[in-house]
A = this chain, B = another copy of it.
Amino acid sequence: MTVRITALRARDIRFPTSDQQDGSDAMHTDPDYSAAYVVLETNQPGLAGHGLTFTIGRGNELCVAACKALAPLVVGRTLESITRDFAGFWRALTSESQLRWVGPEKGVLHLATAAVVNATWDLFAKSRNLPLWKLLVDMTPEELVAAIDFRYLSDALTREQALEILHANAPTKAAREAQMRAEGYPAYTTSAGWLGYSDEKIRALCQKGIAEGWNHFKIKVGADLRDDLRRAAVVRETIGAQRKLMFDANQRWDVGEAIENMKHLARFDPWWIEEPTSPDDVLGHAAIAKAIAPIGVATGEQCQNRVVFKQLLQANAIRFCQIDSCRLGGVNEVLAVLLLAKRFGVPVCPHAGGVGLCEYVNHLVMVDYIAIAPSLEGRVAEFVGHLHEHFESPAIVRAGRYLVPQAPGYGVTMKARSLEDFEYPTGPVWRRRAERAGAAVK
């Protein structure tokens, strides 16, 4: 059967999470977890590709508009013409001769690229009736590498070096796949440590986390050092000395401030400090990493593309590589960064949470472990317990581990009812809020 993409629909889906301060941090004080949601319709009944990019509310409409701007590059194409030269398709999207000016490969346009590219992979996996991770780990090294655009990477990773990594792992893939099916992939939780939560709530959530089998706990810092010290003490006291504690400053500090503040926070034995400063500051992260070792620097959720990840690795600026599944330009670029990280010996600990990110990441960690970086040392994928109920096949975590996804596709297909209810601004949830706000004004 020839699968042809007949339409690209992009929808603005928002959840009013700011009501509970879920997800609040030093920079993002009132996030409404949102998605620019893309459906690639096809000529085959019942077959469509679903992808999303995650945002936190205002600005989601810009990503939706950017998805629509990319539509002419996708609509009318056969799936086979895309998958036959997936790197070429990715290059066409990211190098469109006029559009690239408003990127290139960053911000609104690249976030939108991720939604469209991931929808294409979802379509590919569904057309084969496979979960995405399984489609990817069953590819030959040559097939996998053919999906990667190596432009701007060759000083750090060539096609040949990528093939070498994949060939070395190929003979043992089956054993790791069996292990993942039996054990799952280690996760950590950020549900306990949002900045808007009280000490009592944090303590209770840590206790609950321990009971559920979590061994890594992350809290937000960066708004006020005294407050950070107090909250860190609460968490360390509650989780004990053995479990890992991580800090996340969400870009709040300058380089010197980060080094100074981490001197004070070091007493709580943190495993990593995440986003200590601007996500664009490779050299700044390198300076911080050098100054605060052995505490590790982690970053990536706002790292705009593979070129910045390449430099973070080249500069020894990160000890943990936190790829984001839809800030990078979709699966193709994620694969490039997984291979880069492997080459530099840096573990990948994906950013997740938000809406849909856990569902994406669940696939990506399987690909990383089975095909690219065959180790679990220092590796742990973020998990946050919000909003999974909106997905047809949500990510499942048991006793602190992501279970292997079973459903065909890339995991972010939302329930039709959720799409209707939370469409912005016309869905019933947002209409009711607007009416309430109107009533309150009167």
Residues of chain A at the chain B interface (Cβ within 8 Å): 27-32, 55-63, 65-66, 69, 95-111, 151-155, 251, 254-257, 277-284, 287, 302, 304-305, 307-308, 310-311, 314-315
A155–B260 CA distance with the chains assembled, in angstroms: 13
| B-chain residues with CB within 8 Å of residue A282 when the two chains form the complex | 282-283, 311
| B-chain residues with CB within 8 Å of residue A307 when the two chains form the complex | 278, 280-281, 284
| B-chain residues with CB within 8 Å of residue A27 when the two chains form the complex | 95, 97, 100
Nearest 4 pairs of A and B residues by beta carbon: A107-B107, A57-B98, A108-B108, A59-B102
Cross-chain contact A28 with B311 (CB below 8 angstroms): no
Copies of this chain, tallied across the complex: 2
Least distance between A220 CB and chain B CB atoms (Å): 14
Cross-chain contact B99 with A59 (CB below 8 angstroms): yes
A58–B97 CA distance with the chains assembled, in angstroms: 9
Least distance between A359 CB and chain B CB atoms (Å): 19
A29–B100 CA distance with the chains assembled, in angstroms: 11
Least distance between A301 CB and chain B CB atoms (Å): 10
Besides A62-B62, A152-B254, A281-B307, 18 more A-B contacts (Cβ < 8 Å) are: A28-B97, A30-B97, A30-B98, A59-B69, A59-B101, A59-B102, A102-B107, A102-B108, A104-B279, A104-B302, A105-B280, A108-B108, A152-B284, A154-B256, A154-B257, A282-B283, A282-B311, A284-B307
Cross-chain contact B281 with A152 (CB below 8 angstroms): yes
A29–B97 CA distance with the chains assembled, in angstroms: 6
Cross-chain contact A155 with B256 (CB below 8 angstroms): yes
Least distance between A350 CB and chain B CB atoms (Å): 17
Cross-chain contact B98 with A254 (CB below 8 angstroms): no
Least distance between A302 CB and chain B CB atoms (Å): 7
A104–B153 CA distance with the chains assembled, in angstroms: 24
Least distance between A379 CB and chain B CB atoms (Å): 26
Cross-chain contact B69 with A28 (CB below 8 angstroms): no
